[in-house]
Every structure is written in C-alpha cells, then in structure tokens.
Structure 1
Amino acid sequence: MSSLPAPTRRSLLGGAGALGVAGALGGAVAAPAHAGPWTPARFKGAKLLAAPDRHLVGRFSYGLTPALAAQVRRRGGARRWFEWQLAPGRIPDPAVGSLRTWWSGLDRGAQELWSRQTSEIEYGWAVMEDYQRYVLLRRTRGQHQVLEVMTEFWENHLHVPVNGDAQFTHRVPYGDLVRRHALGTYEDLLRETITHPAMLVYLNQAVSTKRRPNENLARELLELHTVGRGRFTEDDVKSSARILTGWSVDLWRTWRASYQPEQHWTGPVRVMGFHDANAAADGRELTHRYLRYLARHPATAQRIARKLACKFVRDDPPQSLVDHLAGVYLAHDTAIKPVLRALVAHRAFRASAGLKVKDPGEDAVSTYRALRVAIARPPEGERGEQYAANAILWQTAALGTTPFEWPRADGQPVDSASWSSPSRMIASFELHYTMSGGWWPTAGTGYRRPGQWLPRRRIRFDVLVDHLCQQLLGRRSTATLLKACSEAVGVGRREVITREHDLVRWSMPRLLTTLLDSPYHLRK
C-alpha cells in the first residue's frame, strides 16, 4: 500500500464529495481543470458510445450498462436504437414475461381484491406495494426501455395514486392500459384513461349524477391533463362535469364499471370552444368528441410539449423547442412517436447533457443495473420481505418517493430541482454504499464479488479506475474521478492491484461507490 493520507469523510463520500454537492446535483459537469499527476490512464475495453449516443440512451433508459451499450452498437447507434425501441412489439422481452407471477395479487379482479381486503386476507396497500415493485423490476430487467420510460411519464401525467382505499381495485389494469397507449396517440390515451374505472373512482366521477354533477375529474381534466390553468372558467368546469355524467362504478360492492344513461345530464353544453346540444341520453359519444377536442387543443399541445421538454431536456426548456414540439404534436394528430423523434433531433436536446438529475426511482433502478445485481423471485410470506425484489421498494422510498405514490393529482414532478436536496443526496450515498458492498438486501440477490470487478489478474490502479468507469458509467475516467478514487481508498494511482490486494479484500465498496456518487451516475 502507498503512504497516501488517510481518507477523509469528504473523500469517502466519493465523487460527489470530491466534486462538490453543487457539481453532483447542480449544473453541467465541468471538464477537469488540470492534468499532471492525475492524468487518467486508459483501459482497452469494449468500444464506448460516443457522447451524443450516451446522452440519448441515458435520457430514454433506466441506466446505461455494458449490455445496453452493446445493444446500441448492434443497432447502428443511438438514433437507430431509439427508432427500434419505438416499436416494442417487435422486441422480445423474456426477462419481464414471468415477473407478473411473482406477486399473486396483480391479476386479481376488482371485486376479489376488495373481498380479500374486507376479509383481512390481503390489504389493498399490500397489493399496491407489489405493483410498485413490479414496475421497478420491469425497468431494471426489461428490454423495452423507451416504452417503460414513457409509461412512467404518462402514468404520472394522468396520475392515479396507488395509495387509496378505493381506486386500488382497478389500479393495476390502469397501469397496463397506459403502457399499451404510451407510444400511440394522446387522443386515445386521454380517452381511455379518463373513462377508466381507476380514474373515475379516484376523482369521484363514479358518484357523479345528473342531479349532483361532481366537478373533480372535470376540473383536473382541464387543469392537469389538457389545456392547463388560466384557459378555462368555472362555467367551463360545470359544463365539463355535465358532459362526463353517466360514467359510473359500483362502489363498495361489485366495483363493476358501467355507463348509466339515466344519470347523464342532457342539455346544451359549452367548454371553451367546444359546444354541443347534448340531446342524447347516452353521452358516451359526446364524451369522446369532447376529449378529442381537448386532446387537439393548441393549449394542450403546448402543455404536453413543455412537460416532455422539462422531463427529457432541461427544467427551463427554450420556448422555441416547446413551440416546435407542439407543432409536431398537432400536425400528427396527437401521435406521440413523431414528437419524441422531433425532441431527440432538436439542438436543445443535444445541448442538454448533464442537466437532468435522476429521481429516486431512476437512481435505485440504475444502481441495480450498474452493479449488475441479479434479482430472484421472492417466496411468499415474511421471509420474502427481505428479498431484493421486495426490498427495492423500501430503498426507493428512502430516496424520497416510490412509484405513483405522489399524494396529489398533479403527479410526481419531472423537474430536477425537486430531487436535488442535500437529504436526497445523502440518501443516495447510503444506497450506493450499501449496495456496492452487497450488504443489503442480501436475500434473493446475486452481487458480483469484489475480485470480479478486476478485468485481469494484475492491473494498475489508474487503469482499474478507467475500467470501472467504463463498466459503471459508460465513459472514460477523468483526472477528478481518478483523484477522488485514490483518496477514497488510499491507493496510489500506479499501485498494482491483484485479487489478494487489500483494496479487493476490504475497500472495493468504497471504490465503486465513489463512482456511483459522482455526477456521472447521479445525473442522466
């Protein structure tokens, strides 16, 4: 071992500590300001993705891995990979096929779920936790990375929280529906979600009648799902509520969804530029015409375009980008794929590398992917709670939130600022360190042994750091990363590492977490 000074708490926090809190979760990653003694070495591994390709794949996946990079290269680059991903039906996904069966409640019907809750056999919150685990593992293991990213986006935009005593009965099929339409048209997605029993229950449309129209869904449809605040009046909300009467769910009994023409309010309605005589007792076609109008409204186009730009480009996207995406959205009859193609081709997207912070779910999932942790099917009962397939939900919760648990109707934020607090950062450090050491979870997992991170029997430390940067971050080492790693484990940059070295025996978790704590992992 070299005679370097003992690591400080700052250096043990890894790259984020060495590079600074602001650098890890704040602005763009700066290039090393010096070289000299910390000039990084180079390990000849597999060909790396170019920076633009790495940027695109990082934004539209749950973490770049060597396997994903190889897939991108086989497809001819990130843009061709992206186009291939836009047709997920053609991409086999065997690793996801059996996941549904890991938690038995996910395919039970609404009435059975309610019966099991009232009989205290299985509570709704437990089923919803299993659903959250299911989606986290889909993101971890699945080949349909773009589809999963877009499913999460829309499931938050058209938000139905999992933490509810009623809507849980229909919440799993609701997520399935969003996934089916996530790369289709927004018009179809809006129509199917707004009339889905999970949404009807959550926003009280299930109890709306012609004598007492409930305005909750009517208002959120306008304010959150389509045109946005300031575009409508209270009279518009009232007409919106009247249009939606008739859609119903048999609450607290069969939980069957139906349309009841006898409960549909009839008479002239007007919402902004939409007006209809509304003379028919059956208002389903009226609902569809109304939702078609909202989906194709220019204000909806602007709202969808801005939210996509905030999610995938930067928190403050240029108006020129928003206008361009909104124009593509309207020109293609609300089709989602053309908008995504326009987004990734825009200069604002290309210039936004390093400007988005991973949210809690993205951090947890990408850490599992980077460390290549194998996850086994958990057994039933209390013993299964310690398995990684279940514990991943608690790990994500420790970072700030879990999938689809945002308590308000506006859904989980897509901006970076919401996930850039010091407490979030410290929680991420803890996650990275415990997983780098393979300390928790331990049941139902397959962690790589420390020696397996060495590409050969003898390797110089600075070359090893470059190899690990390629494996964990998909990029080359930098002077700053090399220095941070050296300080974290107390090893000189030219020291030779073998499987018997103290670094491998005791300090490999510190080395791995130094890279995972860096901006290159914390951001996407």
Structure 2
Amino acid sequence: MDALDLAPHDWRHPRPLRRPRVILRKTPASASPTPTSPAPSPTPPPAATRESSLHLLRRFTHGITPDLLAHATAAGGARSWFTAQLAPSTVPDPVGDEIDGWFAFLQRTPEELYTRSRNDTEGVWAVMWDLARWTVCRRLSSARQLQEMMVDFWSNHLNVPVGNDDAAYARVDYDKVIRANALGTFEHLLQAAVVHPAMGINLNNNVSTKKAPNENLGRELLELHTVGVDGGYTEADVKASARILTGYRVDLWPAYKAWYDTSRHATGTVSVMGFSSPNTSADGRAVTLSYLSYLAKHPKTARHIARKLCVKFVNDAPSDSLVTAVANAYTSSGTSIPATLLAMIDHPEFSSSVRAKLRNPMEDWIATVRALGIVVERPTTSSSFVNAMHWQYVGLGAAPYAWSAPNGYPNEGAAWASAGRMLNSFNLHRTMAAHYWPKDDATLPDLHTYLPALPATLQQVLDTVGTRLLGETPGSVVSASVAALLGWPLSKRVTARELNYYWPIIAIACTLLDSPLHLYR
C-alpha cells in the first residue's frame, strides 16, 4: 500500500519543528524500560528461524515488543514460549496484577453493581466502559498474552455485548468465567457460559418458561456456539433445546437475583441431534449439563470450532486438511483447547500463512501502542491515557465486546479492509507516533532514542528502527517507500543533525506502521 504523505515541507531541505511535550513517567518495574542510548545494530538469528518465531508471536500476542522477544528467547524459542503460555497461572504477571488493582469494579458482585447503578452511585454503562479499558490494558501489558488472545476469541464466539444494559450487571462475572476456561476444555467453557446469567439475559433465556419456552438461546447454542449453521439441526431440535434450558432465571426488580427455578423447567422427553433424555426431574440442571457436554463433543462442533480457530489464527480460507487435523485433535483430547491449538500451529499450513491475516482496528490500536513502547499508568483524571484511550479505539471500531449481535465480530479480513478503515489506521499511527493524544499518565518514549549511532546510512536507520518497532528489518519495498517519502537514497549517510527534527523520525515510524509489516498479523 502507498505510504502516507505526512510532509509539511520539502524533506530534502528540512527545517526544525518544535517537538510536542513528551511526558516521561516512572515505568512499572517489569515493563520494558525506555531506551536512553542509541539502539545497537540488529543481529537477527537465521532468517527462517526468526521468521517462524515472529509469525507465531504475531498470531498469538497483541504485538511484537522487545520484552516479548526477550521472553521468547529465554523460554528457548517461540514454540516453547507458546507451550508455557498454555498454563497462564504459571506465568508471572506482575504488571497485569498491578493493572487489576486500578479497577475497583473487578471486586464487585452483580448484586453490588446493580445496587450502585440503581442508587446513581455508578451507572452500569460506566462499568462496561471500564471493563473495556481494563481489558485493553491487559492486552497491552500482560505477560499472559496467549490467555488474552484466547479470552478475546472465546468472548467473541460466546458473545454477550456490553451494550446490553440488563446483561451488563452480570457481564464482569461472565468475563471471569471466560478467563477461567479460556485455556481449559471447550466442554467446561460451554457449560459455564451458556447457563450464566449474562448469557441468559442477553438471549432471553431468563424469561423462558415451561409454558412459553423462548427459543433464542436454544437456537443460538446450536447455530453459533456448537454445531454451526450447517450443523443439520431441525426446528424440532431448536424447540427441544429451548425446553432443556428452561429454569435458569434472572430478575432485575426490585433487586438483582439469579437462581434456578424448578417450577419453570419443562419436563418430559427431549431429543436433539442424537441426544435424548427422559427429563423427568423438575431440576433440569443435570440434563442441561449433559446436553451441553454432548454438544461440545459432537463431530460437527469439532469442525465448527476448528474452522473458526483456523480463520482467526491461520487464514481466511483454511484447507479441509487443516480443519480436519485440528478437529481431530479437539475430539481425541476431549475438547482440550491447548491440544487443539498445538495441532493448529504444528500443521504446515500455519507456517505457510505468514501475513495472511489483517488486523482489525482494535488489534491495530493495541499493536501500535505496543510497537511504540508506550507504557500506560494508573489513571488519575479523565484525560489520563487509560481513560482517554477508550474514545480513540471506540471511534476506530471493534472496541472490546461491543458487537451487538450474538454472532460476534467477523474474523475474516475482508470485513476490515475498506479504504475508510485504512485511512483511519494511518491517522491513528500518526497520532500515536507523534504523541498527540492521549498522553497523560503514560510513558511516551522519544522515538529518536530508537535510532542507531549516527551517522549511519538510511538503510541502517530503517533496519534499526524497524527491528525496534516491528521486531524485523523492513525489507526493500518498505525501505524504498520511506526513502521516496524523505527524498533520500537508502545509501545516504544520515547525520544526527539531519534526523534531529521532529518530522523525519515520525515519517519513518508512520511508514513502518502503515505498511503490511504492521497491519498484517
């Protein structure tokens, strides 16, 4: 794609421009320090090894950083890092723990959130904004990057939007359920999520009764969550599915109350896609869990989940060979999510899918902040980075959990490849690289500290800055784009005086971020 022309004047005759104020604050102890000396010349490992490692890290983290690369190296390579990440509780996460302490809502029950909203102490909509902020902070800074990726994936698959004001009271607790099961088994995840009050409210199961079963959750359970739209279920299956799920109640007046109501459960024989039960007990919870277990292990669910994972993490049109291999691992492991992921990354199609996935706007926003080395801090005012960033990524689209329909955000790149989206991304990259806004209560590294010892050729400058921002050198096409933008040949030896201007370094950073090297995962 073409480089974004940021030039306010002729690059070949630069004049000094006043730099914006850069706020430097104390960096959390475990975060990457801001460079204070010229960056060393890159000394990458063999190309094939480095490329495969970067590919795995790009797909299963929210963006390459020097800290991430160091951790992967210390772990013995990207795949060893990945394997360790499959057990998030064993991964120390001091920065993530610190971030958790910034948000009081995490400690409140649905009942408390309801009471606070009803008495005008704190609107539940404000809690949902903070849930998004906390989620983004964790994606930015947590050492448990794979867990954050899978929380995103499963939250989208089992979507309960934060815009549902009634479900919002239980949405924080729902997030905890997703996180607790994101790297466990799909069977347990499905059982916990489907009967959760947030899901019940969002898909009307909280008002479903034996006299008037509401089919919304019963249908979406089949169509979206398990066997898929082509799963072969019938209308009779949908009706029986809805009857099984009756009894899970949530009331929102005069107080929040979630419970199982045996008087509302529809008894009598049920049959759904090979599952059957006499369903004689007024307490249908055991039948429900058995039904959900059956659906989780269904062969069509295995293929539906496998394909969705492959579209998210491999390419938009995964081969039948890949989907079959992943589905087989899912089935043979008893729906183990780690085993399923390992089968996917070990398939040859994964290693050949380098830069086959376009980042959506939210992924781009997070990866941009990570690439630029911005470190967020505890918010103190409405203009603090952590608070103000919400309006920035909401404006871009794809804010966390904001998709209103039950099917979740699309994972295919075509949904995010419009000209308008690209222009918005280009503008984002300039805004963030230039430290325009937001900038309070954050460490904003001076990009000039990412330069090599000068003088150096323009190509050496690009290789050093590219390695710092993206984890790799930019290559001939992107390098030529920067050279054309600056009006300097790649062989030109650039002096400190020539680069001691505000716009040239911004032009370099923005062109790197505007390129496919950054926009594609």
CA distance in 1, matches of 2:405, 2:240: 24
What is aligned with 1:416?
413
Match of 2:436 among 439, 462, 470: 439
- Trace 1:168-187 onto structure 2 (pairs within 5 A): 168-187=168-187
The corresponding residue for 1:316 is 317
8 Å CA contact 1:205, 1:214 repeated in 2: yes
Aligned amino acid, residue 143 of structure 1: A
- Aligned partner of 2:351 in structure 1 is 350
Q: Tell me what 1:299 maps to.
A: 300
The 2-side partners of 1:428 and 1:313 are apart by 23
Structure 1 residues 85 and 210: alpha-carbon distance in aligned structure 2, compared to 1, 3 A threshold: same
The 3-state SS of whatever aligns with 2:334 is coil
Q: Does 1:467 align with 2:460?
A: no
1:426 and 1:246 mapped to 2: Cα distance? 49
Shift of 1:10: 5.3
Partner of 2:216: 216
**In terms of mean alpha carbon deviation, does 468-477 or 331-340 score higher?**
468-477
CA offsets per residue over residues 1-38 of structure 1, 9 Å max, x none?
xxxxxxxx955269xxxxxxxxxxxxxxxxxxxxxxxx
Q: For residue 3 of structure 1, what is the aligned residue in structure 2?
A: none
Aligned residue number for residue 147 of structure 1: 147
Find the residue that maps to 2:473 and give its secondary structure: coil
> Is the counterpart of residue 287 in structure 1 residue 288 in structure 2?
yes
**CA displacement at 1:457 relative to structure 2:** 4.5
Q: Which portions of structure 1, spanning 4 or more consecutive aligned residues, are displaced by more than 6 angstroms?
A: none
- How far apart in 2 are the matches of 1:13 and 1:182? 42
Deviation at 1:109, TM superposition (A): 2.1
Is 1:486–1:492's contact at 8 Å kept on the other side of the alignment?
Answer: yes
Q: What aligned pairs does 1:9-408 form with structure 2 within 5 A after superposition?
A: 12=5, 44-48=41-45, 50-230=50-230, 231-379=232-380, 384-408=381-405
Q: How far 1:233 sits from its partner (Å)?
A: 1.1
Q: Distance in 2 between matches of 1:79 and 1:64?
A: 15
Q: How far 1:253 sits from its partner (Å)?
A: 3.0
Taking structure 1 as the reference length, the TM-score comes to 0.89
Task: Measure the CA separation in 2 of the matches of 1:10 and 1:372.
Answer: 22
What is the CA-CA distance between 1:503 and the residue it aligns to?
5.0
CA–CA distance in structure 1, aligned partners of residues 503 and 361 of structure 2: 28
Rounded Cα–Cα distance in structure 2 between residues aligned with 1:375 and 1:456: 28
The 3-state SS of whatever aligns with 1:501 is: helix
TM-score, length-scaled by structure 2: 0.90
Deviations 1:54-111 (A, max 9, x none): 1111101111112111211111111111111111111100001022232333332222
**Greater displacement, 306-315 / 476-485:** 476-485
Aligned to 2:32: none
Is 2:72–2:81's contact at 8 Å kept on the other side of the alignment? Answer: yes
**Distance in 1 between residues matched to 2:279 and 2:425, nearest whole Å:** 54
Give the match's secondary structure for 2:271: strand
Distance (whole Å) between structure 1 residues aligned to residue 252 and residue 117 of structure 2: 14
Alpha-carbon deviation of 1:219? 0.8
Query: Could you tell me how far 1:454 is from its partner in structure 2?
Result: 1.8
After superposition, the C-alpha distances for 1:32-58 in whole angstroms (9 at most, x for unaligned) are xxxxxxxxxx97325356111111111
Partner of residue 32, structure 1: none
**Structure showing greater relative contact order (alpha-carbon pairs closer than 8 Å, 6 or more residues apart):** 1
Specify which of 478, 481, 484 is matched with residue 481 of structure 1. Answer: 478
Letter paired with 1:62: H
Residues 336-345 or 445-454, more deviating: 445-454
Aligned counterparts of 2:493 and 2:3: Cα–Cα separation in 1: 25
How far apart are 1:250 and its partner, in Å?
Answer: 2.2
Q: Does the CA-based 8 Å contact 1:484-1:514 persist in structure 2?
A: yes
Conserved 8 A contact 2:376-2:441: yes
- The answer for the alignment partner of 1:22 in structure 2 is none
Could you list the runs of 5+ residues in structure 1 that have no partner in the other structure? 1-8, 15-41
Q: Secondary structure at the match of 1:50?
A: helix
Within 2, Cα distance between the matches of 1:353 and 1:340?
17
Q: CA deviation at 1:475?
A: 1.2
- Cα shift readout 1:462-491 (whole Å, capped 9, x = no counterpart): 211110111111112322222211222333
State the distance in 1 between where 2:93 and 2:470 align: 24
Distance 1:284 1:331, change over 3 A: same
Cα shift readout 1:236-262 (whole Å, capped 9, x = no counterpart): 111111111111112233322211111
Aligned counterparts of 2:141 and 2:40: Cα–Cα separation in 1: 28
Q: Would you say the 8 A contact 1:106–1:130 is kept in 2?
A: no
Native 8 Å contact 2:110 2:173 kept in 1: no
| Aligned residue identity for 1:58 | R
- Output the aligned Cα RMSD: 1.8
Q: Matched residue of 1:63: which SS?
A: coil
CA contact (8 A) 1:244 1:287 kept: yes
SS at match of 1:285: helix
Percent identity among equivalent residues?
A: 41
| Alignment coverage as a number of residue pairs | 485
Per-residue CA deviation, residues 127-182 of structure 1 (Å, 9 max, x unaligned), is: 10110011111010011111111111001001100111101101011111101101
Q: In structure 2, how many angstroms separate the alpha carbons of the residues matched to 1:276 and 1:121?
A: 47
For residues 97 and 425 of structure 2, the distance between their equivalents in structure 1, rounded to whole angstroms, comes to 30
Matched with 2:426 is 429
User: Match for 2:352: what amino acid?
Assistant: A
Q: In structure 1, what is the Cα distance between the partners aligned to 2:508 and 2:141?
A: 25
| 2:474/2:517 contact within 8 Å kept | no
- The corresponding residue for 2:22 is none
What amino acid is aligned across from residue 101 of structure 1 in structure 2?
A: G
8 A Cα contact 2:3 2:481, kept in partner: no
Distance change >3 Å, CA 502–CA 75, structure 1 → 2? closer
Out of 138-147 and 42-51, give the one that drifted further: 42-51
CA contact (8 A) 1:156 1:412 kept: yes
Code of the residue aligned with 1:469 in structure 2: it is G
CA distance in 2, matches of 1:119, 1:362: 36
